[in-house]
Structure 1
Amino acid sequence: MTESNRIEYKRELNDKLEKEAIAFLNDKGGVIYLGVDDDGRVVGLDNSDDVQLKVKDRLKTNIEPSCMGLFDIEHEAMDDKDVVKVTLASGTENPYYWKKYGMTEKGAYIRVGSASEPMPQKMIEDLFSKRTRNSIGKIKSPRQNLTFEQLKIYYEASGYRLTDQFATNLELLTENGEFNYVAYLMADENGMSIQVAKYSGTNRVNLIENNEYGYESLIKATKSVLDKLDLENRTRTKITPKERENTRLWNAIAIREAVINAIVHNDYSREASPKFEIFSDRLEITSVGGLSNGLDEDEFFKGYSIPVNKELMRIYKDLDMVERLGSGMPRILEAYPKECFTFSNNFLRMSFPATEQVTQLIPQDAPPHAPQVIHITPQVEKLLQVISGEMSRGEIQKKLGLSDKKNYIRNYQKPALEGDIIEMTIPDKPNSRLQKYRLTEFGKKLKEEQE
């Protein structure tokens, strides 16, 4: 592997880190390997953890505009030696420059072949005049009395504690010190919602279910959408002479990446949110804004990363909802072809075919009171495995190893009741402290087939 317009080698961390990083930010992004000679020979680093901390601090402190959310830093083992890999995305607020030298040829760089060259002053001025002005980091929030308790809880769950300076550190403020649109999306209450719709056929004529998640922190809404789609992504089990084969409607890893990509890269400056639609033969995910400026379809599929909302990308990375820059598209393409994507000036749509008819009919010999459509989700399958005789909610929850009552009721108990798979022992008093649950005749038959 040799140096190229997207790869730079450094034997050690030196005073040229910012120069190389700025050049990639001002171009199509790239990777810097620390601990590798110019000729590609791996020499390794003595203290890669210390190097990672220093790199993060220098990129955060020395480059303007802020490039937080536009880089990843990770440890790699190459030839049994420690190497630090710095991945940089292309920025949307060009020109990026070295703060101590300002917006000059000495401070701004561009990638030319395998080298980082000073950016001509005219190019600097042209780029600055075209710099994105509708970034949600620059748009003032329509509300200023915002609270962020949900966001703090998510950060604490990920091992972080937000200090009193969190609004500044997470770039939730405009240049005038007011909450920006990123803050609005992250707040406990806002006016943004995400739709998950379900249709009985292959078009939008017969809407059978419409769910809205939102008016709350975008992080919480994202998790709700992921939970809903996971619930819909039922498992079909086929017993063969050799083994039990489980097939889901859609590839779970690819769908998760597609959902996160649609939400993080959506153009919220148009005050519109991404949309998720389930048809009888496919799942469609539509985000607003089309391809990022400066990115063509070929570069999109190759995993070039130009985050539309770098502030959102940074937060989703902090919370481990995004793994690495540019990793989402390759993961999706492992399961689905490029033909599943449609591009236009204002939208990007992903259409993922289902492995079978989304509306699944019950067996012919099922009891007459069984529903017309059943969804045997992974959660209901697990419930079927543990329930025996008459059991209380707490007993079932304990058997499943679940501590969250709300999660259990929404994803396990409710769909099992609605599918006539389990029933209450005291149906006329659903909230009775003596309430227990048992399998219906239909549920028993399903469990027999499962076993």
Structure 2
Amino acid sequence: MSETNRIEYKQELNNDVDIEKEVIAFLNYHEGGIIYVGIDKQGKVVGVSDIDSDMLKIKDRIKNNISPSAMGLFDVVAESKEGKELIKIIVAGGTEKPYFKKKFGMTEKGCFIRTGTAAEPMPQSFIDKLFASRTRNSLGKIRSNRQDLTFEQLKIYYEEKGLNLTKHFKQNLELLTEDNKLNYVAYLLADENGTSIKVAKYSGTDRVDLIENNEYGYCSLIKATKRVIDKLELENKTISKITYKERIDSRLWNAVALREAIINAIIHNDYTREVPPKFEIFSDRLEITSYGGLFEGMTQEDFFDGLSLPRNKELMRIYKDLGMVEQLGSGVPRILQAYNKDCFKFSENFLRMIFPATEKIPMQVNTQVPMQVSTQVEELIKIFTGEHTRQDLQDKLNLANRENFRKNYLQSALDEKLIELTIPEKPNSSKQKYRLTEKGILMKERLI
């Protein structure tokens, strides 16, 4: 296979190989591209002798030598071909063009664009034009309306992956604006925010009869994502058919495609209008809707080919850190392995994925909600509006006796599984809060 407008070969990595130049050219190219290290210009596989060291060097060079930050816009992965190890650098087209070498700035020495099979210097007039039209409304540039944000949940998720966030994590994860204020990415990932993702369930094929309306949010977007995944995994029931030969089990929706679709909708949602994605279950299908149409210049064919143009590169980078996303551009192709292109509906402001169910979905209201609870528990359930500290709940109920509140309100609601801890792995944490469970939400709907 020869080089193309989207594929570049490098025989080896050394000081004479300008890897930054090639990456910048693809960042400035609307389709992005792939760089292979370990293949010569004739397409012959020669392999890489010290793959771990070279991969580390490549990541370090891209991270430190290119501006604006390319974090979240590239992957460096190992591949095997003809029995030899290669390095594959996947580069997405960036939204903050022009990208350039920090050493030379926005000049023809620092900016490059992919032309045919080569990375060529970008004319100064084109550099100036791109800079003038650079996207200003990205999440990383929008200042959070709150600057008192905390990130205990995010730290826990990183620790679970064996990664520790240092005191400089806000800078490293690009949670700050240029004037060193917390940005909207930080707001979405904070322990408390106003973003809530809805998972609704209807009894029929339209939106007339709502039988469940669950909210997952007011917390780190990572936690909300995990809760949505858990909820839809629960809804993705196994349907069994007994034939005279065998028992055939199938799920309502393909599990791999479903997970990819959930994460894609959340990561690539346009949060600048404060409209979160939504998930709706009907008796015959699942609909997943995210706000924000295709990027200007991106076609549906580009989309289906898996060309990656991350709307929120900061979120993409963090979800990759936490192992919730694999290679750039892999999500849509995975979905297409189970569902055809007709399942995707495009509009100017929305992208909707419609997954038909393999069988008619049994619609049942959750009957596990207790019909009778104490008056104290009812009072507690009514005041929940998101996540609350113990003291906040006690103050809202205007209760002075701490033990009375703990025993007759808080513990009783926990025993009934109407509320849950936000940090269950650290029950005595000073950051501990409480929120309604699904049963609690249904109970509140009955009480109000």
Q: State the partner residue of 1:205.
A: 208
- 2:7 matched to 1:24? no
* Counterpart for residue 57 of structure 2: 54
Q: Which residue of 1 aligns with 2:144?
A: 141
1:321 Cα deviation (Å)?
A: 0.3
2:262 corresponds to 1:282 = no
What's the Cα RMSD here? Answer: 2.2
Tell me which of 292, 300, 305 is aligned to 1:302: 305
Q: 1:45 to 1:209 in 2, by over 3 A?
A: same
Aligned to 1:380: none
Shift, 1:359, TM fit? 2.0
Give a deviation string over 1:16-72, Cα, whole Å, max 9, x none.
100100010111111100011011101111100000000000000000000000000
| Partner Cα distance (2:162, 2:39) in 1 | 32
Distance, in Å, in 2 between the alignment partners of 1:156 and 1:283 is 34
Partner of 1:328: 331
**1:167 aligns with one of 165, 170, 174:** 170
| Structure-2 change in CA distance of 1:112 and 1:48 (3 Å) | same
Aligned equivalents of 2:41, 2:354: Cα separation in 1 = 43
| 1:63 and 2:75 are equivalent in the alignment | no
Q: Find the counterpart in structure 2 of residue 6 from structure 1.
A: 6
Mapped to 2, the partners of 1:103 and 1:301 lie a distance apart of: 33
Q: What letter corresponds to residue 18 of structure 1 in structure 2? A: E
Letter of the 2:24 partner, please give it: I
Aligned to 1:313: 316
Does 2:226 align with 1:223? yes
The answer to whether residue 14 in structure 2 is matched with residue 43 in structure 1 is no
Distance between the aligned counterparts of 1:62 and 1:258, measured in 2? 34
The answer to whether residue 248 in structure 2 is matched with residue 236 in structure 1 is no
Shift of 1:294: 2.5
What is the alpha-carbon distance in structure 2 between the residues aligned to residue 355 and residue 226 of structure 1? 19
Give SS of 1:52's match: helix
Of all paired residues, the percent bearing the same amino acid is 65
Q: Which residue of 1 aligns with 2:375?
A: none
In structure 2, stretches of 5+ residues that fail to align are: 369-423, 428-437, 440-448
Q: For residues 61 and 244 of structure 2, what CA distance do their matches in structure 1 show?
A: 60
**Structure 1 SS opposite 2:25:** helix
> Residue 8 of structure 1 contacts residue 32 of structure 1 at CA under 8 Å; is this kept in 2?
yes
| TM-score, normalised by the number of residues in structure 2 | 0.80
Cα offset for 1:318? 0.2
Kept in 1, the 8 Å contact 2:211–2:365? The answer is no
Question: What SS does the aligned partner of 1:145 have?
Answer: coil
Whole-Å separation in 2 of the counterparts to 1:373 and 1:198:
11
Which whole-Å CA distance do the structure 1 matches of 2:365 and 2:328 have between them?
A: 44
- Offset, 1:372: 8.5
Question: Any conservation in 1 of the 2:76–2:87 contact (CA below 8 Å)?
Answer: yes
Q: CA deviation at 1:240?
A: 3.7
Distance 2:98 2:245 in 1: 60
**Given the superposition, is the C-alpha separation of residues 201 and 144 from structure 1 closer, same or farther in structure 2, using an over 3 Å criterion?**
same
Q: Which letter maps to 1:72?
A: D
Residues 86/374 of structure 1: CA separation in 2 closer, same or farther (3 Å cut): farther
Aligned residue type for 1:93: E
Distance 2:255 2:40 in 1: 40
Is residue 100–residue 111 contact of structure 2 (8 Å, CA) maintained in 1?
yes
Residue of structure 1 equivalent to 2:89: 86
Q: Distance in 2 between matches of 1:257 and 1:404?
A: 27
1: CA distance, partners of 2:147 / 2:129? 34
Tell me which residue corresponds to 2:180: 177
Following superposition, the deviation at residue 2 of structure 1 comes to 1.1
Structure 1 unmatched runs, 5+: 361-370, 376-402, 407-412, 415-451
* Equivalent residue letter for 1:255: L
**How many angstroms does 1:81 deviate by?**
1.1
Contact 2:112 2:119 in 1 (8 A): yes
Residue identity in the other structure for 1:9 = Y
Q: How many residues are aligned here?
A: 373
Q: Distance in 2 between matches of 1:171 and 1:12?
A: 31
Contact 1:292–1:307 under 8 Å retained in 2:
no
**TM-score normalised over the length of structure 1:** 0.80
Q: Provide the C-alpha distance between the structure 2 equivalents of 1:29 and 1:22, rounded to a whole number of angstroms.
A: 9
Q: Does the CA-based 8 Å contact 1:359-1:373 persist in structure 2?
A: no
CA offset digits 1:374-417 (Å, max 9, x no partner):
99xxxxxxxxxxxxxxxxxxxxxxxxxxx9899xxxxxx98xxx
